[in-house]
Amino acid sequence: MTKAAWIRLALLAAAIGGLEGACRAGWLPRTAIIPPTEMAAGGWRAVASGELNEDMAQTFSVVAIAIMVSLAGGFLVGFAIHGRPRLRRALDPFLGAYYAIPHFAFYPLLIVLFGLGPGPLIALAVMFGVVAMIVATMNGLDRVPRVLGKTAQVMRLTGTDELWRVRLPAALPHLFAGVKLAIAYSFIGVIAGEFILSTKGIGHAIAFAYDNFDARSMYGLILFVLLLVASVNLTLHTVEQRLIQRRSR
Amino acid sequence: MADGASALAAAERQDRLEAWGGVALTVLSLAALWQGLHYLAGDSAIASLPATLRETWHLLSGPRYWPHFRETMSAFLWALLIAVTGGVGIGVALGGHRLSGEVAEPVLVALYSIPKVTLYPVVLLFFGIGLNAKIAFGALHGVIPVAIFAMNAVRNVNPTWLRTAATMNLGPLQTARHILVPATIPEIFSGLRIGLSLTLLGVMIGELFASQRGIGHLLMTSIEVHDVRRIMAVVLIVSVLAVTLNALMLAIDRRLHRRV
């Protein structure tokens, strides 16, 4: 581990320890925040007791569907637009402004359209994630060095062979940047939607605990979600680094 | 010479014309898509374009709904102020000190990609329901991208320029004014653009949950009474506002980057 990583770890430990001490000493109001050890215990109890199994199953299946739709749809749409420069120029201002729109404003509309359930959550998460994948796909295909295409021509590869053996592998690290974003955005979209208005799911469980002044479950679940998403992101980051390294070799 | 300049100007005009044509085409196809969905899904799911425009006019023309817009705007502006000053402060400090930057960067990136909405109850517990919670939540969304961009801007200042400044015996203030500020402003501004969008997003999310006023609250009450027209009118207002702000910032952004 580097020096910076050690310092980061030490600071993190100090922050958690400080929070624990401040809570135990009564410097922070107990109605607002509880000690981290109690958060961890609350989270462990909530997850281990099995009360949340249904909520977790709902959240994870919705996130998984949203990720798959975002990745497959984003790749196909990005690939299609990339081959049509005129269409791409017309869409450019739209794609550039897309992430300025607060998508959660659409959530009530999606509930009206799809009813309360997994439908609007999937739609919200896909709306959020798919455009990142579209943009990453187009950028990735843009950055395939032209010499690779020429080499493929010289070797008389057919269209599909050229795509599978040359273009896609060359674009892979850029595509992966889109994969990373689409996955993070799917989690954010689903959990935020559940939190705002839903009858099931981890996000709903957090809002439910908040409404019932159940600070232990609430902080426990928040901790659980944040640790889960942070570890997913860390894994993806490691894979991405490996992909970039492999290419520069 | 004069011919070359006028040809260049003509080409630029042509480019601008094409860009506007693209925007017009996008708006038209979105309108067509909207109307098509309306015919497919029916009045109870998607209001038609003319009906939505009438409702938008109704919302904006009378004084009845202005308190909601004012509430959201004031929360947004305060949150933006905090996000920008805090973000630039943090970013410049971390960018100026190499080790601190290395320590903090992964933490900032991790904070950027977690679902911050889960932290909203915590914000509510600390600030109570009301304007302050929205401001805090909006600022929480905006501050991180601003800090990340500002940090990279300071890190990427060409060291030769700083050495030149030292050779010329510039004081710290002079170095800041003539070297650091002009060198970092374009990149910091790009961060501001993203931070602005995210701050608006944060304020809106804050209003969708446990709120008594604001545009988000208007949305939630509209869904409770199943007023599709109003939902769509509010969504339209928010989207147009967000896209216009973004276009404005993008235009300034491009100008700043071109100058360097």
What is the per-residue pLDDT across A52-106, written as a single tens digit (0 to 9) for each?
888 889 999 999 999 999 999 999 999 999 888 878 877 777 787 788 787 877 8
A-chain CB neighbours of B205 within 8 Å are 102, 104, 192, 196
Are B209 and A233 within 8 A, CB to CB?
no
B 124-143 near A (Cβ less than 8 A)? 124-126
Same domain as B57, residue B24:
no
Cα dihedral B194, B199, B204, B207 in deg (nearest 10): 170
For residue B124, give how far its alpha carbon lies from the nearest alpha carbon of chain A (Å).
Answer: 9
Same domain as B145, residue B123:
yes
In this complex, which of B22, B44, B201 lies closest to A89 when CB atoms are compared? B22
Residue A241 lies in a domain: yes
Same domain as B213, residue B169:
yes
Residue A157 lies in a domain: yes
Cβ-defined contacts of A80-86 (< 8 Å, 24+) = A81/A134, A81/A138, A82/A137, A82/A138, A82/A141, A82/A142
Give the total number of structural domains in chain B: 2
For residue A112, give how far its alpha carbon lies from the nearest alpha carbon of chain B (Å).
Answer: 6
CATH code assigned at B72? 1.10.3720.10
Are A210 and B121 within 8 A, CB to CB?
yes
Domain that holds residue B21: 1-43
Same domain as B189, residue B103:
yes
What is the per-residue pLDDT across B197-247, written as a single tens digit (0 to 9) for each?
899 989 988 888 878 888 888 888 888 888 888 888 988 888 888 888 888
Closest CA in chain A for residue B245: A100
Same domain as B233, residue B161:
yes
A-chain CB neighbours of B215 within 8 Å are 105
Same domain as B215, residue B169:
yes
From the first residue on, what is the mean pLDDT of each consecutive set of 10 residues in chain B (260 residues)? 68 75 80 87 81 89 86 94 95 88 87 86 87 92 93 88 88 86 88 90 86 87 84 88 86 79
Residue A24 lies in a domain: no
A 166-195 near B (Cβ less than 8 A)? 184, 187-188, 191-192, 195
Residue A234 lies in a domain: yes
Residue A27 lies in a domain: no
Residue A39 lies in a domain: no
Same domain as B79, residue B189:
yes
Domain that holds residue A215: 58-248
Same domain as B192, residue B63:
yes
Give the total number of structural domains in chain A: 1
Same domain as B109, residue B26:
no
AA identity, residue B247: A
